[in-house]
Amino acid sequence: MWGTMVWLNYNHLDYFRHVAREGGVAKAARRLRVAHPTVSAQVKALERALGERLFERRGRTLVLTEMGRIVQRYADEIFGLGAELVDTVKGRPTGRPARLVVGIADALPKAVARRLLEPALRGRERTLLVCREDRPERLFGELARHAVDLVLSDEPVTSTSGVRAFNHILGESPVGFFAPRKLASSLRRGFPTSLDGAPMVLPGENTALRRNLESWFESLAIRPDVRAEVEDSALLKVLASDGVGVFPGPAALEADIRAQYAAASIGTVEDVRERYYAVTIERRIRHPAVAEICATARREIFT
Q: What pLDDT is recorded for position 87?
A: 61
Q: What are the tens digits of pLDDT across the range 12-53?
A: 999 998 888 888 888 888 888 889 889 899 999 999 988 899
Q: What is the pTM of this model?
A: 0.64
Q: State in words which class domain 10-89 has.
A: mainly alpha
Query: Whole-angstrom Cα distance, residue 152 to residue 138?
Result: 12
Mention every residue, 6+ apart, whose C-beta is less than 8 A from residue 82: none
Question: For the chain, which ranges sit under pLDDT 70?
Answer: 1-6, 84-97, 123-124
CA angle 239, 223, 212 (to 5 degrees): 75
98-171+276-301 CATH pick, 3.40.640.10, 3.40.190.10, 3.30.300.350, 1.10.760.10: 3.40.190.10
Q: What pLDDT is recorded for position 302?
A: 81
Q: What pLDDT is recorded for position 104?
A: 94
Q: What pLDDT is recorded for position 2?
A: 45
Q: What pLDDT is recorded for position 3?
A: 47
**Residue 90 CB neighbours (<10 A):** 7
Domain with CATH 1.10.10.10 in the chain: 10-89
Query: Whole-angstrom Cα distance, residue 191 to residue 101?
Result: 41
Q: What pLDDT is recorded for position 1?
A: 40
Query: Whole-angstrom Cα distance, residue 16 to residue 25?
Result: 9
Q: What pLDDT is recorded for position 21?
A: 84
C-alpha distance across the termini of the chain, in Å: 56
Q: What pLDDT is recorded for position 82?
A: 78
Q: State in words which class domain 173-273 has.
A: alpha beta
Q: Are 18 and 31 in contact (CB under 8 A)?
A: yes
Domain with CATH 3.40.190.10 in the chain: 98-171+276-301, 173-273
Instruction: Transcribe 195-254 into DSSP letters.
Output: GTT-EEEEE-TTSHHHHHHHHHHHHTT---EEEEEESSHHHHHHHIIIII-BEEEEGGGH
